[in-house]
Amino acid sequence: MERYVGWGWTGAAAGGRGRAALNEAALRRRSRGGAPLGGPEGTAAGRAAGKGGGGEASNAMLSRRTLVLNTIGLGMACFVTCLLGSWCLPAPAEAAKKRILHFASKEPETLDPHTSVLGQVQAIVRFVYRGLTRFAIQDGKVTTTDVEPDLAESWTTSDDGTVWTFKLRKGVQFHKGFGEMTAEDVQFSFERQIRRSKGMLFAQNLEVIKEITVVDPYTVQFTLKAYDPIFLLRMVGYQHGYIVSKKAAERFGDQFGWNPVGTGPFSFDKHLPREKVILKAHEQYYFGRPQIDEVHWFDVPEDATKLLGLEKGTFDILQPEVVTADVEAQVKKIGAVLDKRGPGGQGRGAPGLYVCT
C-alpha cells in the first residue's frame, strides 16, 4: 500500500486539511555545495546512518521509507499535510510514543526566511512560518493562479486595484510566548525587506508596494504604486511572504536567523551545528497542534549516506543532490517511491513525495 502525500508548500500543507500545493516559480532555486561526509562513518550523521533506527520512537507513519527530490525542498511542506491531517493520527498502540520526523538534507544557513534562497532553508522554514494567503485547491488539484486565506481571513480591494485591505485572523499566537500576531507584525515583515535591511534578499519582489498602513490590530492596508494582477500571489507564505514576529526580530537583531519566531506548526528548539536542527510542535498552532511532536533536520550532504540512512530506517525523508540512474535503482530496491509528477498530478517533471508502507 502506498499513501501519496503530494508536492507543495502552501498553507494547506500545514493547515491540517490533508491538502498540498505548489508554486511553480518557487522551483527556480540556487544551490550551495556541501562538504562531503567522507563516507557513512565519516561524521556523526554518517555514523547514525550506518547504525539505523536512531534510538527514538516514531509512529507507524514515520517508519515508512520516504524520498524527497532536491528541486527546492518544497515537497517537505506537503509532508506537513500528512503530519497535521486528521488521517495521520497514530494508532492507539503508538499514541504514547514521541513522534519524530527524521529528515536528511543539508544544514540550513539560517532560519530567517527573508535572507536565503537556498532550497534547504526554504524547505525547513515552511514548518516555522505562515503567510497572509496560500494557494487554493480546486477539484482536488493545485492551482497556482488562485489563493485562499491563511493568516488573513479575508481581504478587499479598491476599484482600481491599488489598495488592498486585509483582515487578520484573530488569536494567532507566535512561538515561545511572543504574543498574538497583529497588523504591526505584517507591516514589519514586509517593510524590513522593502527597506533592504541587512541580509534581505527579496525586495525586488515587493517593489510594487508604495505604503503599508496599520489600520487597527487586525487590519493592514497595502497601497500599490500601480495595479498588480498577481498581488495576492505575492502574499502567499513563501520567501518574502512569510510573517515574522516584530518583537522577536527586533530583540534578536542579527541573531534572529537562529532565534526564529513565526506562527507555523513547529517552533525552533535548538541548532546543533553540522549535526541537526530540532523543531517542536507548536501547541497553540491556529489549525490545531501537529500530530508530529518533533522534526529532526539532519545535516547529511552526501547522497550515499542519506540513502544508507533511509535503508536502515534512520531517516524518514531525504533530499538527494543529484538523481542518477543508480539513485533511482537504489530507491526502488529499498522500497521508497520516486514521484516526478507536477501540480495536480500533471507530468511537468517537478519531483514530489511519496510515503510508503
Domain boundary residue among 257, 283, 309?
A: 257
In the predicted structure, residue 221 carries a pLDDT above the cut 80? yes
Quote the pLDDT of residue 67. Answer: 53
Lowest mean pLDDT among 89-103, 189-203, 254-268, 298-312: 89-103
In the predicted structure, residue 147 carries a pLDDT above the cut 60? yes
Residue pair 66/6 in contact (Cβ under 8 Å)? The answer is: no
State the total domains in the chain.
2
Residue pair 137/12 in contact (Cβ under 8 Å)? The answer is: yes
Assess if residue 114 is contained within a domain: no
Quote the pLDDT of residue 97. Answer: 83
CA distances from 270 to 14, 48, 100, 285, 296 (A): 21, 19, 15, 19, 10
Q: How confident is the model at residue 240 (pLDDT cuts 50, 70, 90)?
A: very high
Whether this model's pTM surpasses 0.85:
no
- Residues 250 and 146 both lie in one domain: yes
Q: How confident is the model at residue 132 (pLDDT cuts 50, 70, 90)?
A: very high
- Residues 244 and 176 both lie in one domain: yes
Assess if residue 263 is contained within a domain: no
Domain boundary residue among 257, 292, 324?
A: 257
The amino acid sitting at 242 is Y
Lowest mean pLDDT among 88-92, 216-220, 239-243: 88-92
Assess if residue 125 is contained within a domain: no
| CB neighbours of residue 334 within 10 Å | 16
In the predicted structure, residue 189 carries a pLDDT above the cut 70? yes
- Residues 162 and 225 both lie in one domain: yes
**More confident of the two residues 135 and 339:** 135
Assess if residue 209 is contained within a domain: yes
Assess if residue 122 is contained within a domain: no
- Residues 86 and 138 both lie in one domain: no
Lowest mean pLDDT among 32-41, 92-101, 262-271: 32-41
Quote the pLDDT of residue 339. Answer: 57
Tell me the backbone φ, ψ of residue 167, rounded to 5 degrees. -95, 125
Residue that the C-alpha cell 533592504 belongs to: 196
In the predicted structure, residue 200 carries a pLDDT above the cut 70? yes
| CB neighbours of residue 354 within 10 Å | 22
Q: How confident is the model at residue 126 (pLDDT cuts 50, 70, 90)?
A: very high
- Residues 168 and 101 both lie in one domain: no
Task: List pLDDT tens digits, range 68-112.
Answer: 443 333 444 444 444 444 334 444 445 568 899 999 999 999 999
How many Å separate Cα 93 from the centre of its chain? 29
Assess if residue 30 is contained within a domain: yes
Q: What is the edge-to-edge ordering of all strands in the sheet holding 2-4? A: 2-4, 353-356, 66-68
Residue that the C-alpha cell 511542506 belongs to: 77
**CATH code: domain of residue 243:** 3.90.76.10
| CB neighbours of residue 256 within 10 Å | 22
Assess if residue 120 is contained within a domain: no
Average pLDDT for the chain: 76
In the predicted structure, residue 341 carries a pLDDT above the cut 50? no
Residue pair 232/133 in contact (Cβ under 8 Å)? The answer is: yes
- Residues 164 and 210 both lie in one domain: yes
**More confident of the two residues 244 and 68:** 244
- Residues 162 and 51 both lie in one domain: no
Q: Give the Cα separation of 188 and 209 in Å (integer).
A: 13
Q: Give the Cα separation of 36 and 343 in Å (integer).
A: 33
- Residues 273 and 248 both lie in one domain: no
Assess if residue 227 is contained within a domain: yes
Domain boundary residue among 232, 257, 282?
A: 257
Residue pair 151/263 in contact (Cβ under 8 Å)? The answer is: yes
3-state per-residue secondary structure call for the chain: CEEECCCCCCHHHHCCCCCCCCCHHHHCCECCCCCCCCCCCCCHHHHHHHHCCCCCCCCCHHHCCEEECCCCCCHHHHHHHHHHCHHHCCCHHHCCCCCEEEEEECCCCCCCCCCCCEHHHHHHHHHCCCECEEEEEECCEEEEEEEEECCEEEEEECCCCCEEEEEECCCCECHHHCCECCHHHHHHHHHHHHCCCCCCCCHHHHCCEEEEEEEECCEEEEEECCCCCCHHHHCECCHHHECCCHHHHHHHHHHHHHCCCCCCCEEEEEEECCCEEEEEECCCCCCCCCCCCEEEEEECCCHHHHHHHHHHCCCCEECCCCCCHHHHHHHHHHCCCCCCCCHHHCCCCCCCEEEEC
Task: List pLDDT tens digits, range 324-333.
Answer: 888 888 888 8
Mean pLDDT of 352-357: 32
**Domain boundaries, position 320:** 2-107+269-356
Question: What Rg value do the Cα atoms of the chain yield, rounded?
Answer: 20
Mean pLDDT of 50-55: 42
- Residues 253 and 137 both lie in one domain: yes
- Residues 159 and 252 both lie in one domain: yes
CA distances from 230 to 130, 185, 314 (A): 19, 22, 42
Closest CA to 204 of 145, 144, 117: 117
- Residues 238 and 289 both lie in one domain: no
Quote the pLDDT of residue 340. Answer: 55
Q: Give the Cα separation of 33 and 16 in Å (integer).
A: 34
In the predicted structure, residue 148 carries a pLDDT above the cut 50? yes
Q: Give the Cα separation of 36 and 208 in Å (integer).
A: 42
- Residues 147 and 203 both lie in one domain: yes
Mean pLDDT of 309-316: 91
